[in-house]
Amino acid sequence: MRIEKDFLGEMQISSDIYYGIQTMRSLENFPISGRSIESYPYLIKSMAYIKKAAALSNHRVEALDCHIKAAIVEAADEILAGKFENQFPVDIYQGGGGLSTNMNINEVIANRANEIITGKKGFTCVHPNEHVNMSQSTNDVLPSAMKMACYLYMEDLIKHLEQLEKALESKVNEFQSSIKLSRTCLQDALPMTFGQQFNAYLSFVTRQKKELQKVQQDCLKLLIGATAVGTSLGVAKGYIEAIYQYLPKVSGMPVTKIEDYFDGLQHADSYIKISGCLKGLCSGLSKMAGDFRLLASGPRAGLAEITIPSVQPGSSIMPGKINPCIPEMMMQVCFDIYGMDQTITIAVDRGELELNIWESIIMKNLFDAFSLLIASIPVFNHKCVQGIQINEAINQMHAESSYSISVVISKLFGYEMANKVVAEAFKTDATIKEIVIKNGLLSKEDAEGLLNPMNLVHVDV
C-alpha cells in the first residue's frame, strides 16, 4: 500500500495500481454505469498523444527537465502500446467537466514515470498536476482529445462505408437488367430496374462518406493552449507554438490551432455537426434496411421480390419461419443513434458562460454512436447486402401487370382515354396491354414494344 494526499485528506492506495487519489475519489463519487473511459480506446490514445506532445513541448521551452520529459514520454508510449489495461476505471458518467478523465490519465503517467525514474510508484519525482499536466487544463485537453478521437472513429467508419459502397456497386451491375415495379405511397408505380434502385442506395452512401470526410477535417482544429477559459494562463512561453509542431508528428494527425479559443471553449456545436452526420447516415441505412424487409416479405403472402440471406430460425413456435433479422438489427442501431443525437443536442445547448462542461455525456453518446455503426455496418454488408438475390419471375409479372404503364397510353391518346383503359383493365382483371390490343388502340407488335417494361426504364427526353 502507499499513502497519497490531497487537500481533502489522505488515502491508502494499493501498490499494484497506477492511478492515484483523484481517480480513487472519482470511483467513490461516481459508481454509476459500470462502464469506464477504457471503453473508448481512441480517447485514451488521444489523451496519451497530447500528454506526450505536451512533455516534449514543455521541455523544448525549458519548462520541464530532460529526465522527467523522457519518463513522461516513455509512459505515454506505453499507454499507446496498450500496456495499462484496467488502469482507467473512472465512470463515463462524471461531474466536473471531465476532470476525472484527465486526472486518471495524469496519475497513471505520473506513477509510471516515477517508477521509471525511481523504481517506485508515488509522486516523489513526477507529479500528475505539476509535470504531466504542465501548461494544460482539463478544459482544453479533453475537448481536443475528443476531437482527435472523433477523427480516428471517422477513419474506421469511412473504411466500412467504402466496403458497403463496393458491395452496392456490385449489386448495381448485377441487377442492371432486372426489372421491378416501383412503388410510391406503397402503391404500384412505374417500372424501373433493381440496378436503378441499388444505384440510389450507392449514391446515398457515397454522399454520406463525403460529408463525413468534410466534418472529419473540422476535428483537426484543437483547443490545446487555451487552458481554463481561453486566456492561456499557466502556459509556458513558447509552448503553444511548440505543441502544434509536436502533436501532428506524435499523433500522425495534421492538427492545427482553433481560430478562437474563447469560441471553442464556450461552444460545442462541432459535436452537433458530427452527430448530425451520423444521424443523416442512419436515416438512409435504416431506410435501406426497411426497404429490404418490405421487398423480402412473404414468402407466400408478402412481396417476395427479393431474397435476403437466412441467418437463423425466425420463430420459437413456427418451423421454417425466417425473419429479416440483419436489417432489423441495422434499423434498431439507427433508432438508438437518433436518441443519442438528441442527448448531444441538449448537452451542447446547456453550455453556460465561458465553458461547456457536459463533454462527458457528449463523449459517451458520440463515441457509442460511432462504435455501433462501426460494428453494425460490416454485419449488414456481409450478412445481408452482399447476399441479396432477385426473384425475377415475380418482378417481371408485377412490372407487366401494373396499371401504371398506362402513362404510355396517356401520352399517345390522351389522359381520358388512358383512364378508360385502366378502368376496363381493373374491371376485367386484364393487363393494359391486353385491353389496348383488344380495343384496337395498338397492334400486338406495337403494344409489345411500347408497353414492354424494360423499354420504359430508360426514356430519352
- Are the beta carbons of 28 and 102 closer than 8 angstroms? no
pLDDT of residue 315: 81
275 is catalytic: no
User: Alpha helix (H) ranges present in 128-193?
Assistant: 138-174
Please say whether the beta carbons of 151 and 220 come within 8 A.
Answer: yes
Please state, in angstroms and rounded to a whole number, the distance separating the CA atoms of residues 309 and 386.
Answer: 9
- Phi-psi sector, 274: left (phi>0), alpha (psi -120 to 50), beta: alpha
Torsion from C-alpha of 333, 335, 340, 343, nearest 10 degrees:
-170
Give buried/exposed letters for 439-452 (b at 16+ CB in 10 A, else e). eebbeeeebeebbb
Work out whether the CA dihedral 38, 39, 45, 47 comes out positive or negative: negative
Q: Given 15, 33, 315, 443, which residue is catalytic?
A: 315
C-alpha of 416 from chain center: 51
pLDDT at residue 265 in the model:
96
Torsion sign over Cα 301, 303, 309, 315: negative
- In the three-class reduction of DSSP (H, G, I as helix; E, B as strand; rest coil), residue 355 is classed as strand
In tens, the pLDDT along 116-151 reads 999 999 999 999 999 999 999 999 999 999 999 999
What is the DSSP-derived secondary structure letter of residue 205? H
Residues in CB range of 162: below 8 A, 6 or more apart: 209
- In the prediction, which pLDDT does 460 show? 61
DSSP annotation of 236:
P
d(C-alpha 2, C-alpha 122), whole Å: 8
Place of cell 481560430: 259
Ordered per-residue pLDDT tens for the chain, 461 residues: 888 888 888 889 998 999 999 999 999 999 999 999 999 999 999 999 999 999 999 999 999 999 999 999 999 999 999 999 999 999 999 998 899 999 999 999 999 999 999 999 999 999 999 999 999 999 999 999 999 999 999 999 999 999 999 999 999 999 999 999 999 999 999 999 999 999 999 999 999 999 999 999 999 999 999 999 999 999 999 999 999 999 999 999 999 999 999 999 999 999 999 999 999 999 999 999 999 999 999 999 999 999 999 998 888 888 888 899 999 999 999 999 999 999 999 999 999 999 999 999 999 999 999 999 999 999 999 999 999 999 999 999 999 888 888 999 999 999 999 999 999 998 999 989 999 999 999 999 998 899 988 988 876 64
- The pLDDT assigned to 63 comes to 97
What nine digits make up the cell of 192? 424501373
Cell of 194: 433493381
pLDDT (tens digit, 9 = 90+) per residue, 424-439? Answer: 998 999 989 999 999 9
Task: Work out the number of other CB atoms within 10 angstroms of the CB of residue 245.
Answer: 13
CA distance 397 to 339: 42
Q: What is the pTM of this model?
A: 0.93
What is the reported pLDDT for 93?
95
Question: Domains in the chain and their CATH numbers?
Answer: 2-134 (1.10.275.10), 140-393 (1.20.200.10), 402-456 (1.10.40.30)
